[in-house]
Every structure is written in structure tokens, then in C-alpha cells.
Structure 1
Amino acid sequence: MSTVQQEVDERTNLTGSNKFELLLFRLGGDANGDRSELFGINVFKVREIVAMPAITAVAGSLPHMLGVVNLRGQIIPVIDLPAVVGCTPKTGLNIMLVTEYARTTQGFAVESVEEIVRLDWNQVLSAENSAVGGMVTSIARLDGDIENTRLAQVLDVEQILRQITPSDTKDVDPDTIGDQLQIKEGAVILAADDSGVARTLIEQALHAIGAPFVMTKTGKEAWDKLQTMTAASLAEGKPASDKVAMVLTDLEMPEMDGFTLTRKIKQDERFKTLPVIIHSSLSGSTNEEHIKSVGADAYVAKFVAEELAAAIRKVLKNK
């Protein structure tokens, strides 16, 4: 396991073009522990991997919350990930993945850790319209586009955390989100996010500030949509901003990630003046440096509607 931890430390700085690293793990199988499938989570979300420490049960905990651990002075809640997705570990909950997500730190209990694989995002297909759905955003073809490739299910961490620890406050409050957005008539905000729950929250926020928008599920879909939407304006010698006021993108997405989408926009003469805001659950100074390096105009951590609205207003005002 120390080897896997070293790989996490060494590769968190990965900045390759449209590539990422997936930590593969197993949660168990059916009620008999059979058919143990591979699951994955982006290495960027993993702070460390540890043998399962002693867990203190907390009175009145929500379902699938095992309790808390004291890890070097930090109290971290631990989630029973096999129970969340309906798996039964054959050998027990042996490993804890400590993850940083959307301003929070939590541990995910898993049965075993397999390896870290480096993939191109085009090896990852959206699970949006598949039978998988629910807590899986995408399916990774680990050996590429070949017959009988190994498959791994990429979990929708946003959906899982929202289910396990629901918010007791309004996600979007019209009374606190601020003024309506002033945007060029006929233009829209082009948004991209692969998580269903994230798209719902973004849509609610944009509705609340009166911002017209077009929502997409991947960076590639957003890039294709951008070109299609602005083709007529560009053909007439008008700027792309006549149709698209700005782009709002997640980072982790099948087919094309937000880093690559932002880089393509900023390096293209047709679109380089379009503002881009990256809205992501990935946190930490390393990731923020990567975001700056691709030319994004702003970064907003998920999900605080007031902060997102403020960033959109500021970016459009400075345009």
C-alpha cells in the first residue's frame, strides 16, 4: 500500500493534455461477495490512503456513516462506501481513502485498493444515459477502445456526499443570491458539468440571477456547442460573445476535461476573449495553480450559489 501512496503523492501534479489518473479500488460484490467490480476516483480528490484506523461511532449518525476517526489531530467522518453503492465486502473494510472535496474532508471505507492508472479522458464515456446512472458519472475503458477492455465505474462523489450528508439550508436562496445578471441580449452562459446533481444546482443558481444558459455534460460537448452556436456570428464578422457571454465549466468530465476545454478556448483566436470560470469540487493550491496556467478568468469552489453568482457578475463586468 505504501507504493500506491507514493504514486498518489508523485502524480497529483499531473498536468498533461486531457489526461488524468484514476485510483482503482474494490468495494465487494453481491450478498455473497461475488463479482467484485472495479470502481474509480480521480487521484486529484485523494489526499492519502491509510489502513482502516479505529472508528468512533457517533450517536444519531446518518445511514452509511460509520463514525469518525482522529487522523493526526483532524476529526474526519468516515462513509461506508460499499453500503452506499450496494456492495458486500468479502474481506471487510480494510482501507480508508481520505478525500478532499468541495471544501470538506472525509474518509471513504473500501475493501481494497488496486492501482493507479493514467488515462486520456477520451477513454471515459458518460454513464448519463446508461443503465448504470445514479451514483456513477462515467465508465472508464482501462485498456482503451478495444474489445473486452477492463471497465471501471467512476463514482459521482458529489451525488454520494449529497445523499449521505444533505444540506439543512437552501442551496439557492433568491433573497441572498444578489442582483439579476445584466447580459447582452441574445447571449447565454454555456455551462458544462458531468454530475447530475451539480447541473441541477447550477441551473437553479443561474435561474435565480436571471441568466439564460445552455447546459452540457462534457467538455467536448461544450466545445462542439460553442462552435455551433457562434458559427453564424463569426461568419458575419461579429464576435462569439454575441451568442455566448461566458463559459462555466467543471474540471472532471468524460471525453474532454475542463482544463483542456479552457485551454482550447483561450488558444483559439475566435474565442480567446470569452471569459471562462472553472467551477469545481477539486480544491487545493496545486489545482488552483493548474487552473491559472490554462488561462481561466476565475475559479469558484463548489457549491455556494452566492459565490458563483458573484464570480459571474465580476467576470462579465471586467470583460
Structure 2
Amino acid sequence: MKSVQQEVDERSNLTGSNKFELLLFRLGGDENGEHSELFGINVFKIREIVAMPEITAVAGSMPHVLGVVNLRGQIIQVLDLPAIAGVKPKTGLNIMLVTEFARTTQAFAVESVEEIVRLDWNQVMSAERAAGSGMVTSIARLPEESGQPGRLAQVLDVETILRNMNPDADPEISRQTVGAQIRIKPGSVVLAADDSVVARALIEQGLEAMGLPFIMTKSGKEAWEQLNSIAAGAETEGLSVHDKVALVLTDLEMPEMDGFTLTRNIKRTARFSNLPVVIHSSLSGTTNEEHVKNVQADAYVAKFSAEELASTIRRLLRQ
């Protein structure tokens, strides 16, 4: 039997192999509670899972906000995730998922928790073209069980959900907030990667406010392929990749190839190793920051502060 420390170490080491763990849960089904689909969220975002406590309703709350709970002295907002997803729980809201995400703590009410599965990011496909993908960032293909065909789980885009719940909370992004524009070598760009529609929009606004030309990609794999294509094109012009790419900005959670693997690939490839890499992620905490150091990223910025991101990019480019 594994010790708690062994399980913690094993889970932490997943970031070195393009793997992650997905907590599977159910929200409900149609109006009769049938056809309940599987949903998932990265275990690194989960602070704890608790039986549904007593919730205090708050006057004037936004739709789908159940209220707040007092969890060991911390007041946490609880969101009705089945209602947000447009489904009905058959047995009620029984479980509360407490998440730490993008510098905030919030809780999601769900019907039931199934299990934790370990997956490779290449088992996860982008859901951007799928119906209803506004709140689903990707689809995970789960392993076969007992001869049954593999199941699918929808990986929720928590960034989009939280933004939709509180649209007035968008960070201010302007030339005033990011400071003086950043100058880079003419003809070069910032190569960015993020799978969230909302995050990409905010990053694009921030880079535009900084005066930085950029190429935006939707996964680590797409960014890696783009980087190699740019390098090949530079070589035909008698240039190096450093003449074409000033900096790489990457999320961590992405289908096909995560940000840890992308960063490791860059730093272990001779022609790319000196490219500055900034990891820009909603996954926070000292554990994730330690992983960032292990893959030799040049900086870590928690989402989303345009001012902090601009300051970090400016510092790295000066170096």
C-alpha cells in the first residue's frame, strides 16, 4: 500500500511525462435526470472535496450562485454547476468541489464524484469546434474498462465559466496598466499558447497593449510545431530562430501537449534553449511553481494580471 507521501510524489512527477490526473464527476442529465454525462477537472485545481455543507443564500446574488459557505473560517462562494451546464441532478447537489484557480478560491456544487483517472495529454482533444464548447475546453478519451468501450469526459473551461458568472470582473487591460510599450527585434514575435477561448482573448489584448506582435496557438503541440516551422523558415533566410521569436508564452493545461512538456522540449533543444519561456497559468501554488523551475522555464506568472505579465516580459527581454 502506498504512503500518502508516495502518492503525492507520484502525482507531482506526472508533470515530467505529459500526464495529468482528471477528477471525474457527474452533474445530472435531462429534465428527468437521465443521460448523465461525465465531466472532469484537473486534480491540481482541486483543493478539497466535501459533502455539501449548509449554504447561506446571499441577497441579490447572480443567477446560479447558491450562496456562500464558511469553510474553516474562509467564506467561499458556491456555484450551481449543473444549472450552469443546463442539466438537472437526479439525486440532488450532494458534493462540493473547492477549487483554487487564477488567484481565487470558489466552490462548485455537483451531483456525484466518480473517480480520479490518470491520462496522457495526447488522450485529450480540443473541443473548440464541438457543440456547446463555450464551457468545455476539451474532451478526454478514457481507457476501456472490463471490455467496455472507452468513455468520453468533458473537461470544463473554468475560466469561461467564472467569466460568464461575473462578466464585470475582467481585468483592465490598456497601455496605462501595462506601462510603456515593449520593443523587440523587427520581424520577431511572441509565440503564445493557450487552449481557453477566454484566456486567449485576454492574452491577445495584453500583448496588443504592450505593442508586441504575436502568433497565438491553441495547444502545446501546435506551438511546438509552429516554433519548428519558424526555425526552418529562418534557416532558409540565413537567420536563427532568435531573429523570429522573441519569447514563448505558454499555459500549462492544454490538450495533446501540456505547457511543461512544451517548455522542456524548448529548453532541451539546442537551437531553442536560449529562448525565454514564460509559463502563464491559472494553476497556482508552490508545487506548480516548483515544477516550473524543474522544466527550466524563465518565469511563472499566475493568471491574469496584464501589469505583472508586462513587467515579467519586459524584464526577460532586457536580460
1:126 corresponding residue in structure 2: 126
* Counterpart for residue 53 of structure 2: 53
State the SS of the aligned residue for 2:40. Answer: strand
Cα offset, 1:234, TM superposition: 3.2
What RMSD over aligned residues (CA atoms) do the two structures have, in Å?
2.0
Q: Does 1:89 align with 2:89?
A: yes
How much has 1:236 moved relative to structure 2? 5.3
Within 5 Å, give how 1:91-170 maps onto structure 2.
Answer: 91-143=91-143, 148-168=149-169, 170=171
The answer (yes or no) to whether the contact 1:8–1:46 under 8 Å persists in 2 is no
C-alpha change, 1:228 and 1:118, in structure 2 (3 Å) is same
Give yes or no for contact 2:163–2:169 (8 Å, CA) kept in 1.
no
Aligned partners of 2:206 and 2:94: how far apart in 1?
A: 40
TM-score, length-normalised on structure 2? 0.94
Shift of 1:309: 0.9
1:133-173 per-residue CA deviation (whole Å, 9 max, x = no partner) reads 110000000027x9942000000000001111233465312
1:304 paired to 2:305: yes
* Amino acid in structure 2 at the alignment position of 1:97: L
- Measured against aligned partners, the alpha-carbon deviations of 1:152-208 in whole angstroms (never above 9, x if no partner) come to 000000000111123346531222210111100000000000000000000000111
Equivalent position of 2:230 in the other structure: 229
Unaligned ranges ≥5, structure 1? none
Q: Which residue identity lines up with residue 72 of structure 1 in the other structure?
A: R
Whether contact under 8 Å (1:51, 1:94) holds in the other structure is: yes
Provide the rounded CA distance (Å) in 2 between the counterparts of 1:191 and 1:216.
Answer: 6
CA 1:153–1:168 in structure 2 vs 1: closer, same or farther (change >3 Å)? Answer: closer
Give CA-to-partner distance per residue, 1:215-256, whole Å, 9 cap, x none: 000000000000001213235553211111110000000000
Identical amino acids, percent of aligned pairs: 70
Q: For residues 23 and 6 of structure 2, what CA distance do their matches in structure 1 show?
A: 10
Match of 2:204 in 1: 203
Distance in 1 (CA, whole Å) between partners of 2:109 and 2:38 is 15
Q: Which residue of 1 aligns with 2:243?
A: 242
Q: Is the 8 A contact 1:66 1:78 kept in 2?
A: yes
After TM superposition, list the pairs within 5 Å mapping 1:3-18 onto structure 2.
12-13=11-12, 14-18=14-18
Note closer, same or farther for the CA distance 1:219–1:74 as it changes in structure 2 (3 Å cut): same
**Structure 1 residue 132: deviation in Å?**
3.4
Q: C-alpha separation between the residues in 2 aligned to 1:170 and 1:248?
A: 19
| 1:207 counterpart letter in structure 2 | E
Tell me the distance in 1 between the aligned counterparts of 2:170 and 2:117. Answer: 38
| Distance change (3 Å), C-alpha of 1:300 and 1:97 | same
Deviates more, 1:71-80 or 1:227-236: 227-236
